[in-house]
Amino acid sequence: MTKTAITPTREENFSEWYHNVITAADMAENSPTRGAITIKPYGYAIWELMRDELDRRIKAEGAENAYFPLLIPLEYMTKEASHVDGFAKECAVITHYRLKNVGGKIVPDPESALTEPYIIRPTSETIIGEAFSRWVNSYRDLPLKINQWANVMRWEMRTRPFIRTSEFLWQEGHCAFATPEEANADARRMHKVYENYMREFLAIEGVYGEKTVEERFAGADHTYSCEWIMQDGKGLQAGTSHDLGSHFAQAFGIKYDAQGGGQEFCHTSSWGVSTRMIGGLVMTHADDDGLVLPPNVAPWQVVIIPVGKDDADAELAAFCDSVSERLIAGGVRAMVDSSDIKPSDKLWKWVKKGVPLRVEIGRREMEVNSLTFVRRDLGKPSAKTIGADEFVSTAASILTLMQADILARAAARTASMIHTVADLKELDAAIAAGKIGFFKIKYDATLVPEYDAIEEKHKLTRRCLDGADDSFVYVAKAY
């Protein structure tokens, strides 16, 4: 059996493997706060790359960034009944504004009870809706397109790093329009922006479609979902976009003086993705040796490791530095690992961290101006020794090829785990036989009592309607 850096392997215990990949890559750790994680520098550097590219795409769609309060007055949550019902069990509530030392124990001061509690935002439709009611007065103020990068809290009972945590980071877009057609078009457009971003930047091919009535966002007329299939066959909702109709506009008085006279309620949309995408990135691309990063999201795209008998070889160090500097000048994120550990340990460190290109340079290579590089996505068999000048001039194109290859492999695996079933009997038999992934079935077949029994038996959920034919729906086990 081949020795791997991560044990257990994916096949042996996918859940434990996932946790161990994150630990080995030094991405995050559990925190003292229940259900929350500390995102460590390497993990946060990945998020920054993901965030910055998506922020660029969001701004290209005409949205502007803003920031709204973390604490939401309780009364705001009660103005949109279906919305509060959707989040009531997950809300963290602030009831006091001061602590008091009582017998050596710090407790909330009974005399500091708030007249009205605040909710730590689980999402910001309500408080942004209140702001929009003041910002929108005339048809000339529309469309209004705002995006916020923030943290939110949802008091999850069962947590998993990045995938489901009590506190997480995200972006949430909120827009107001004059007509229902514009609001729906915006929700669909941002759904497509997410799809392109996930494919082009994260190298992940997913399933994209509208949520069923049973699964749509609380308070929405339409919800469009980005669904990923993980290596264990389970689904992960990676992002959503919502057409909220005029529900929030009516609840918060978001209306405008129409061009033809009179006042009209706005129609709104909201859309968001979160650090959950980092977890999906790990579950999609990592292997039994650790993280595998598409070059676009790799903090370091090339890591150079000096390999010599003398750790204090100044000439070798200078040569490695010169290669790194030339790569950086060419737009490649490169660094030299000059840490005081054995070269073999450095090699495994960067394998587990998923660095796309690992470069090894020894005294012999230096003397003939060459180096050896290894593609992380292909492993040791890809090791190639070439001239240092050639590597510097071709590194960017190698990284581009890796990005495409990683997407192609992920897309092929996703396609192989989508199964069309004729009826509920075939669905039940396929899952019972051990088949994993998404199951495409007629939507009407899931609206009968017999489906409810199969759903409970196999822990299934409706993921989304088929984007090409909404008479079909995808069902699957999911995170």
The yes-or-no verdict on residue 3 having pLDDT over 80 is no
Q: Does residue 88 carry a pLDDT above 60?
A: yes
pLDDT surpassing 60 at residue 4: yes
pLDDT of the residue at 2: 65
pLDDT in tens, 296-309: 999 999 999 999 87
pLDDT in tens, 131-163: 999 999 999 999 999 999 999 999 888 899 999
Q: Output the six-digit token pair for 449.
A: 């009592």
Residue 176: per-residue pLDDT: 98
Residue 380 has pLDDT above 80, yes or no: no
Closest C-alpha among 162, 261, 127 to residue 135:
127
The single-letter code of the amino acid at 158 is R
User: Does the structure show a pLDDT above 80 at 87?
Assistant: no
> In whole angstroms, what is the distance from residue 321 CA to residue 318 CA?
5
Confidence label for 311 from pLDDT (cuts 50, 70 and 90): low
What pTM was estimated for this model as a whole?
Answer: 0.96
| Structure confidence by residue, pLDDT tens digits, 453-462 | 999 999 999 9
User: Please, are residues 223 and 255 in contact by the beta-carbon 8 Å criterion?
Assistant: no
* Alpha-carbon gap, residue 65 to 61, rounded angstroms: 12
- Asked if the model's pLDDT at residue 1 lies above 70, the reply is no
CA distances to 285, 308, 333 from 379, rounded to whole Å, are: 13, 22, 20
Model confidence pLDDT, tens digit, residues 314-332: 999 999 999 999 999 999 9
pLDDT at position 412, please? Answer: 98
- Whole-angstrom Cα distance, residue 476 to residue 437? 6
pLDDT per position as a tens digit, 256-292: 999 999 999 999 999 999 999 999 999 999 999 999 9
Instruction: Taking residues 37-51, report their average pLDDT.
Output: 98
Region 363-388 average pLDDT: 94
Q: What is the pLDDT of residues 165-216, one digit of tens each?
A: 999 999 999 999 999 999 999 999 999 999 999 999 999 999 999 999 999 9
- The per-residue pLDDT for 381 is 83
Q: Would you say 272 and 172 are in contact if contact means Cβ atoms under 8 Å apart?
A: yes
Over residues 323-362, the pLDDT tens digits come to 999 999 999 999 999 999 999 999 999 999 999 999 999 9
At 477, the pLDDT band (50, 70, 90 cuts) reads very high
Burial (Cβ within 10 Å: 0-12, 13-18, ≥19) of residue 344: exposed
85 pLDDT exceeds 80? no
Is residue 218 very low, low, confident or very high in pLDDT (cuts 50, 70, 90)?
confident
pLDDT score for 158: 86
Q: Quick one: pLDDT at residue 312?
A: 65
Query: Average per-residue pLDDT in the chain?
Result: 96
CA torsion angle 65 68 70 71 (round to 10): -160
Instruction: Over range 232-253, report the average pLDDT.
Output: 97
How many Å separate Cα 249 from the centre of its chain? 29
